[in-house]
Amino acid sequence: MQSQSFPSWMKLVLAAAGFYNIVWGALVVVAPSLFFDWAGMVQPNYPELWQCIGMIVGVYGLGYWIASSDPLRHWPIVLVGLLGKVLGPLGMVKALVDGRFPWSFAWINVTNDLIWWVPFTMILVHASKENSQKRRVYSPDIQGWAMRAQSQFGISILEHSKLRPVLLVFLRHVGCTFCREALSDLRERRAEIEATGTQIVLVHMGREQTADSILAKYKMDDVPRVWDPKLTLYQAFGLEKGALAQLFGPKVWFRGFKAGFLGRHGAGSAEGDVAQMPGVFLVFHGEILKSYRHQSAADRPNYVELVGDLAGSQPLP
């Protein structure tokens, strides 16, 4: 199944929520009187029911921990969690108004529920946008057509992917320092990538003569590449134009200085659409197994991690 790219904070939020729920649930199960003592309340007549709630909260924590591996794919877990974190405080408000609970007990809802409303909602909004984009651009016909694009060796992306898995890397314009950094990263990790049986295929938008020069500089000129001056492949794979913050935000300036000056990749004149965002796709037999869509022009994919599940496989004869 295709994996979608997501901001790293989503993984951290869900991992933190999972850890918190598991710890909180364990405390309730092991010491059911603890929170009632803190709130100055009378102990419940049936502590087993309170321990059961602790067990449920702990199980939710395991769900969050699993969802942290791919928040966009596991958005239903996040949705169910958010519903619980909204409905729980509503029940608490009724109990407070009726005088059944003291206000001191309401602090449980702050850490259990309220602080998670915003990040959980942001994850769901992001997942909704990604899924809408997927439905819009990922039709089999469009992707099937895109896979027919040929490299300089006269072999299509589809044919390459039938021989072995393909790491299809869509570059920014070759004058971009991040494009050059990407080529440097691919050159440095090329042996590790190819050891998994994976073939690197590049997609670029600039002139072929310029691409020859830049790729030769980074010793990547022997890698299959597809020329896409009209950006039709970029569009077919759902790579959109970047917003202002994605192209010129603080992260882009900081990383641009680091890659261009400290990394000595420099920069050149723009050839192609400077607003076009890059991306990376792992393709095998014409099917996209994984994807990485840049959230910023300055993002730096871990190419080895993308092909990590293929370790030990060998190229087909």
Q: Please give the pLDDT value at position 157.
A: 95
Please state the rounded mean pLDDT for residues 20-31.
95
Domains of the chain are 8-135 (no CATH), 140-310 (3.40.30.10)
Contact call for residues 222 and 269 (beta carbons, < 8 A): no
HEC string of 46-81 equals: CHHHHHHHHHHHHHHHHHHHHHCCCCCCCHHHHHHH
* Tokens 């021989």 found at: 163
Give the residue from 193, 188, 218, 189 showing the smallest Cα distance to 204: 218
Average pLDDT over residues 220-246: 90
Task: Please tell me the least confidently modeled range out of 120-124, 192-196, 311-315.
Answer: 311-315
Q: Do the beta carbons of residue 282 and residue 165 sit within 8 Å?
A: yes
**Is the predicted pLDDT of residue 144 greater than 80, yes or no?**
no
Across the range 265-276, mean pLDDT stands at 87
Q: Is the pLDDT of residue 256 over 80?
A: yes
What is the DSSP code string of 18-31? HHHHHHHHHHHHH-
Position 30 scores a pLDDT of 95
- Cut 0.85: pTM above it: no
Give Cα separations from 17 to 77, 78, 172, 253 (angstroms): 12, 10, 36, 32
294: nearest Cα among 247, 255, 256 = 247
Mean pLDDT along residues 133-145: 62
**Residue 5 predicted with pLDDT over 70:** no
148-180: pLDDT as tens digits: 999 999 999 999 999 999 999 999 998 899 999
Give 96-124 pLDDT, tens digit per residue. 898 888 888 888 999 999 999 999 999 99
Give the whole-angstrom CA distance, residue 249 versus residue 270. 19
Give the helix/strand (H/E) hosting 287: strand 287-293
Q: Per residue in 124-136, pLDDT tens?
A: 998 887 766 655 5
> Which segment of 110-114, 137-141, 287-291 scores lowest on mean pLDDT?
137-141
pLDDT of residue 17: 97
Q: Which two tokens stand for residue 253?
A: 């300036």
Instruction: Please state, as a whole number, how many other Cβ atoms lie within 10 Å of the Cβ of residue 145.
Output: 13
